[in-house]
Amino acid sequence: MSKQPLSFQPGHNHDRCIHEALHKARTLCSERKQRLTPIRELVLQLIWQSHKPLGAYELLPALADAGFNSAPPTVYRALDFLQAQGLVHRIASLNAFIGCPHPGPAHQGCFLICRSCSCTVELESAPVQNAIHNSAAHLGFVIEQETVEVVGLCPNCQQSDANSLQREAE
Amino acid sequence: MSKQPLSFQPGHNHDRCIHEALHKARTLCSERKQRLTPIRELVLQLIWQSHKPLGAYELLPALADAGFNSAPPTVYRALDFLQAQGLVHRIASLNAFIGCPHPGPAHQGCFLICRSCSCTVELESAPVQNAIHNSAAHLGFVIEQETVEVVGLCPNCQQSDANSLQREAE
DNA sequence: ACAATTTAAGTTATACTATAACAAAACATA
DNA sequence: TATGTTTTGTTATAGTATAACTTAAATTGT
Ligand SMILES: [Zn+2]
Ligand SMILES: [Zn+2]
Ligand SMILES: [Zn+2]
Ligand SMILES: [Zn+2]
């Protein structure tokens, strides 16, 4: 079996994920002379509280707790900024947002989303990209933006899913 | 140049597209002993008025004109049925729906969506599917549902886009 | 044909997601 | 410090989708 991405490793050191994400964000914004304001950094940190996509409205209570305004525009503005900087991606099929594990080079992710635990992996996916580009090129279509979102069962949940089906059968 | 799908052929006989879509729908529903009621058939016909994805709320006025109830649940129920029968697909990135040009065998489309004219092609896309399946299999992820939506410029609009950029430059 | 059951449609209300528009505050630059 | 720019606060509203219950129509079995 190949090495699993951290998203699919329940016991991994997630504090490290958070720390690295924030560190990369600070570095990138600094390089680009973009302002990673307290609200923006907090939203990024909240997005990284897990490897599960979060809806914008799920972030509002935490923003309020931290003493910020927590009307929808606040969180959407922060998310817009983070998306523009490539620090988070939007998952269209879930109306939700997830942190990008390798921000920097502009890219659009290819996401594997577990319908049971919600844990989501962002693939590099060169073969997928190539296949799409070839198909598009064949029709003379010029690609500007790609959305690739795959829902299913992660390795961990296949086990629990089998277990619960078995329990039902008993 | 390869043969373009009808979606990207402005002058094609679209009445034929509509007629074929309705014919296939009647046949499939009949075979499956599913009821293609007047509302459902009308919604399918409205969806097929073009090759552009349409939002649910864009269908409501036409439903009212035809003398049906036109509250949101009416159109969403019809769309749910049509999706379940594989007669229409939902485009998650647009919150919109489009007719399936080859209903019957269960499948999830790979869509090329023109951001200028909205015309949308559903590809067969075996290579794309394979690439996704390989990547997923490599991680032990079991696929249940795929969303592949590509936004860009269709061959026709590349021309007009170039023209308008040129006009701006003058 | 009739009653019982299932499926679909009508209706009202509401949840969820996202943005418009304008005012106030903070920041950057000179 | 004065000036222009960017960010945040605030209120309102647009856009998308579903819950819950009622009525009507179609299907099934007798
Ligand atoms: Zn982690
Ligand atoms: Zn990414
Ligand atoms: Zn057509
Ligand atoms: Zn299709």
Q: Same domain for B128 and B145?
A: yes
Domain final residue pick, A81, A102, A123: A102
Q: Which residue of B has its CA nearest to A154?
A: B141
- Strand B96-99 to strand B110-114: parallel, antiparallel, or no bridges (unpaired)? unpaired
A39 phi and psi, to 5 degrees? -65, -45
- pLDDT of A170: 45
Domain that holds residue A123: 108-170
pTM (2 decimals)? 0.93
Q: Same domain for A33 and A48?
A: yes
Instruction: With respect to residue B1, please indicate whether it lies within any of the assigned structural domains.
Output: no
Q: Same domain for B118 and B167?
A: yes
Q: Same domain for A121 and A50?
A: no
Q: Is the pLDDT of residue A52 over 80?
A: yes
Give the mean model confidence (pLDDT) for residues B45-59: 98
- pLDDT of A166: 53
Instruction: With respect to residue B5, please indicate whether it lies within any of the assigned structural domains.
Output: no
Nearest to A151 among B93, B112, B145 (CB): B145
Residues contacting B47, CB < 8 A, separation 6+: B54, B59, B82, B88, B97, B98, B99
- For residue A89, give the nearest of A110, A73, A63, A72 by alpha carbon: A110
Q: Is the pLDDT of residue A79 over 80?
A: yes
- pLDDT of B169: 46
Instruction: With respect to residue B6, please indicate whether it lies within any of the assigned structural domains.
Output: no
pLDDT in tens, B126-163: 999 999 999 999 999 999 999 999 999 999 999 876 66
More confidently predicted of B113 and A162: B113
Task: Protein contacts on strand D: list nucleotides below 7 Å from a Cβ.
Answer: 6-12, 15-20, 26-27
Ligand 4 centroid vs B84 CA: distance in angstroms? Answer: 12
Contacts 24+ apart (CB under 8 A), A59-68: A63/A39, A66/A42, A68/A38, A68/A39, A68/A42
pLDDT in tens, B92-128: 999 999 999 999 988 988 999 999 999 999 998 899 9
- Please check whether residue B154 is in contact with residue B114, taking contact to mean a CB–CB distance below 8 angstroms: yes
Q: Same domain for B31 and B88?
A: yes
Is B151 in Cβ contact with A92 (below 8 Å)? no
Ligand 1 centroid vs B126 CA: distance in angstroms? Answer: 33
pLDDT in tens, A93-139: 999 999 999 999 889 889 999 999 999 999 988 999 999 999 999 99
Q: Same domain for B26 and B86?
A: yes
B123 phi and psi, to 5 degrees? -85, 155
* 3-class SS of residue B114: strand
Is A139 in Cβ contact with B4 (below 8 Å)? yes
